[in-house]
Amino acid sequence: MYRFQDVARPAATAAKHFVGAPMRMASSICPGEYAAPSVETSVPGPKSKKLLADLSQIQQSGSVQLFADYNKSLGNYLVDVDGNVLLDVYTQISSMPLGYNHPDMLKVLDSDENKRAVVNRPALGVFPAADWPVKLRGTLMSVAPKGMDSLTTMMCGSCSNENAYKNMFMKYQRDKRGGTSDFTDLEKESCMINMPPGAPKLSILSFKGSFHGRTLGVLSTTHSKYVHKLDVPAFDWPMARFPEYKYPLHENLRENEQEDERCLAEVEELIEKWEKKGNPVAGIVVEPIQSEGGDNHASPYFFQKLQKIAKKYNAGYLIDEVQTGGGPTGKMWCHEHFDLETSPDIVTFSKKMQTGGYYLKSDFLPDLPYRVFNTWMGDPTKIVLLDAVLKVIKRENLLSVVEKSGDVLMSGLRDLEAEFPALINSTRGRGTFITFDAADAKLRDDIVKRLLTKGVQSGGCGVVGIRMRPALIFQPHHAHMFNDRLRQVLAETK
Catalytic machinery residues: 211, 320, 351, 375
End-to-end CA distance of the chain: 44
Q: Which of these, 298, 289, 363, lies nearest to 320 by C-alpha position?
A: 289
List, in sequence order, every beta strand (DSSP E) within 109-238: 150-154, 203-207
Phi/psi at 171 (5° precision): -65, -40
Query: What are the backbone angles phi and psi of residue 16, rounded to the nearest 5°?
Result: -125, 145
Q: Cα dihedral angle (10, 11, 15, 16), rounded to 10 degrees?
A: -120
User: At residue 375, what is the residue type?
Assistant: T
Partners of residue 433 on adjacent β-strands: 430
Report the distance separating Cα 136 and Cα 131, nearest Å: 9
Identity of residue 241: R
Measured in whole angstroms, the distance separating CA 279 from the mean position of its chain's CA atoms is: 29
Buried-exposed string 337-352: b where 16+ CB fall within 10 A, e elsewhere: bbebeebbbbbbbbbb
Q: What is the b/e burial string over 220-253, where b = at least 16 CB atoms within 10 angstroms of the residue's CB? A: bbbbbeeeeeeeeeeeebbbbbbbebebebeeee
3 state SS of 451: helix
Secondary element (H or E) of residue 273: helix 253-276
Q: Are 145 and 347 in contact (CB under 8 A)?
A: yes
Please check whether residue 478 is in contact with residue 76, taking contact to mean a CB–CB distance below 8 angstroms: yes
Residues 6+ apart with CB under 8 A from 272: none
**Residue from 163, 251, 166, 145 nearest 213 by CA:** 163
DSSP 205: E
